[in-house]
Structures are given as structure tokens and as C-alpha cells.
Amino acid sequence: MNISQQFAPPFKLVGSFFISAMIMFFISILLLFNFDINLIHTQNSLVLSWVHLYLLGFVMMSIFASMAQLLPVVLEVEHFSIDLYYVVNPLLFMGTTLIFIGFYKYPMVLSYGGVIVFISFFIFLFESFLTIKKVKKLNFLSSTVLVANIFLFLGLVVAIVLSFVYSGVLFLNIKALMLSHIYLVFVGYLGITIISMSYILIPMFWLSHSFNNIYLKIAFYKISFGVVLVVFSQIFDLYIFEYLGYVEVLLGFIFFIYQLYLIFKTKVRKQKDIYYKYIVFSIINFIIALVLVCFYFVLSNDYLLFISGFIFLLGFLTPIITAHLYKIIPFLVWFHRFSNLVGKQKVPMLADMVPVKSSDFGFAFYLLGFILSLIAFIFSSDILFKSAVSFLFVGTSFIVKDVFYIINFKG
């Protein structure tokens, strides 16, 4: 793939998103100490506040930073207006904070936070759509980005309505709205974005080539169709379409996993670095989460759904994002600070910018904490869960420290 740096945004812009993401990530893991897994069904407000803080503050911030960098670079078109991103970061940070407070304690604040987040997302989408419009001919990658952003926009509209329902302003079917919101944003936008970025980043970092990407395309079509079916079923109360949508999404993710397996088989890079460890860890957890979801539909056990959600968030999303932070940020910093010095003085290698021992410690602590948390869920032991969170917190602290170290790397 021909990748050009001509249209890359300034690092100070992208770096600010990563800094905000790390702050939210650190706070999210710290807040896990407030959970009691034996009383989890009575802590709905805390769960909702935590999920939104994690997803909006850490996951979305990280994705927006990556998209700001990768979208024009891969599509080889200039941003429509890169300056708009300077507004997105503070608005998203502020809106996420208000949504967290609203879910946690003051429901009336939800509407304000929802509107602010909507504005930040709308600016991001407005800029993204106009950037994609510059592409002369849509290919698979640009098509996935376009469809994902459409899902995100629709999910935001539903989210605004939901915020007014939660605050008591509107009275609508909250279950149907919630399911539509989850599938539009969580499955439609996030799932397809991960697929499209996997099409570029994992083969690039693993030096994989000569693999058939047809399964990635099938995954994209099935997940997109599944999301449409689920949302359609909630609008018209046709629940047969809801379950057909579930099946389509599940099949789509299975094809995605198989595509990752083909990429893994054809990789040239044999080094098992921190990127390799986090990617393998995330994919294993993704498979486990999907299996538990299947058991949930058979057994109708809400506890299984909660555990699968925990695995998907902290076992899949966190590792796959962390893996790419250890690859993307060093390159951005190197390009920003050292690319102009090549041939004039000695410059560091990309590998020199990643603290190997620290990153390995972070992975080990996070892995141990995650495994302990699953054992805690099996035995319903809150004491063991608190111990697991302690290890997760230490691992997260290493990750956050490493990111700030790389961002401030001077050579």
C-alpha cells in the first residue's frame, strides 16, 4: 500500500488526543475499585457512567487521534479542515465528563453532556465526510470508513434522544433505543472501524503479504447488514429481524477472526514484541467473548452477558488499542522530531523509543489482573476482584507512563 506523509496532521494535534485518552483510561481503571461484583445488578448507574467514560474518553479519543492521522495518509487526500480537530478534543473531554457525572449522580446533567458530545462528534463527522468526498473513487477502505461514520451519526442521534429520556424530558421505549444505540455505535461504528484499520495496520506492522482479504470484505458486509437488521427490528417491532441481525453480526466477526488468522500465517516479522503480545491477547479474548455471548442466547443468563462485555472491553479493546499505541505514537514522534535530521546527525530507531522492560512489566501486570478478574467472576469473589483490579491498575500505570515517555522522547 502506497502511504504518504504529505497530508499528515501536526503531532501536537494528534498528541493532545492521546494525552486525553490516557487520562480517561487511567481514571476508568481506577474507578473499577468502586464495583462490587456481587451487587453488580444494583449498580446500573455506576456501570453506565463507567462504560461511557471508558468508551468516549479512552476508546473514541484513541480512534479519533488515529483517524486524524491515518485517514488522509491512507486516502492520500488532504484534510478538509484539520483545525476543526482542535475543537473536537476539548468538547469531547468536557462532554464525556458531564455524561459520567450525569449517569453517576445527576441525571439532569446528561442532556448537557450529550449535546456537547454530539457537537464534538458532529464536527468530527462533518470533517471526515468532506475529507472522504475528496477521494475520486471509493475503494474498500474508504467505503468502510464512510459506512462506519454513517452508523456513528445515526447512533449519535439516538444517543441524544436517550439522554432526554434518561433525564425525564421524553418518554419513549428506552430498551429499543438502547439496543439501537449500542448496535449503531458499538457494533456498527467501532466494529467496522476496527475491521478497516486491521486492513491496514496489522499487515503493515507484521509485514504480512500475499493473503486473500475476501474474508475481511465479507465480515464488513455481514456486520453492516446485521446492524441494519437490528435497528430496523427495533423501529418496527419485528423481532425476527433482530435475531437475524445477531446471527449476521456473529458470522461477520467469525470471518474477521479467520482473516486475522490468515494475516498471522503470512506474517514475515517473527519478533514477539509488545505489539505481538497485545494483539494475540486481544484476539483470544475476542473469541472468548463471542463464545460467551452465544451461551448467553442459549441460557439467557445476564451474568454471562456482563462477563462477555467485561472481556470485550478490557480484554479485547484495551489490548488492541494499546498494541497500536506502542506502534503509532513512536512513529509520529519520530517523524515529527527526527525525520528532518536524517543524514545530518545520528537519530534514534523506532525501537529505541519504546521502553521494552517497562512495556513488558505493564503487559504482565495487566494480563495477571485480567485473568484474576475472570477467576473472581467465576467464584463471585469481590475480594479477589479488588485484588485483580490492583494488578490491572499497576499494568495501566505502566502503559500510561510509557505513552507519556514516548510522547516526550527527545533522543
CA distance 330 to 273: 14
Which range (19-28, 30-39, 274-283) has the least confidence? 30-39
One-letter amino acid of 41:
H
pLDDT band per the 50, 70, 90 thresholds, residue 2: very low
Arithmetic mean of pLDDT, 404-409: 94
Q: Between the ranges 14-23, 33-42, 109-118, 292-301, where is the mean pLDDT highest?
A: 14-23
Position 5 scores a pLDDT of 53
**pTM of the predicted model over 0.85:** yes
Arithmetic mean of pLDDT, 32-59: 87
Q: Mean pLDDT, the chain, as a whole number?
A: 90
CA distance 195 to 151: 14
All three cell numbers of 328, joined, read 503509532
Q: What b/e string do you get for 95-105 counting C-beta neighbours within 10 Å, with b at 16 or more?
A: bbbbbbbbbbe
Tens digits of per-residue pLDDT, 169-222?
A: 777 788 899 999 999 999 999 999 988 888 888 888 888 877 788 999 999 999
Arithmetic mean of pLDDT, 211-235: 93
pLDDT at position 3 over 60: no
One-letter amino acid of 314:
L
Work out the percent of the chain whose per-residue pLDDT is above 90: 61
Q: Are 308 and 292 in contact (CB under 8 A)?
A: yes
Tens digits of per-residue pLDDT, 265-300?
A: 888 877 789 999 999 999 999 999 999 999 998 898
Work out the percent of the chain whose per-residue pLDDT is above 70: 97
Give the angle 210-216-217 at the CA atoms, nearest 5°. Answer: 110
Arithmetic mean of pLDDT, 120-125: 94
pLDDT band per the 50, 70, 90 thresholds, residue 399: very high
Greater model confidence, 225 or 6:
225
Helices (H), 76-213: 85-104, 109-132, 140-166, 174-181, 192-198, 201-206
pLDDT at position 1 over 60: no
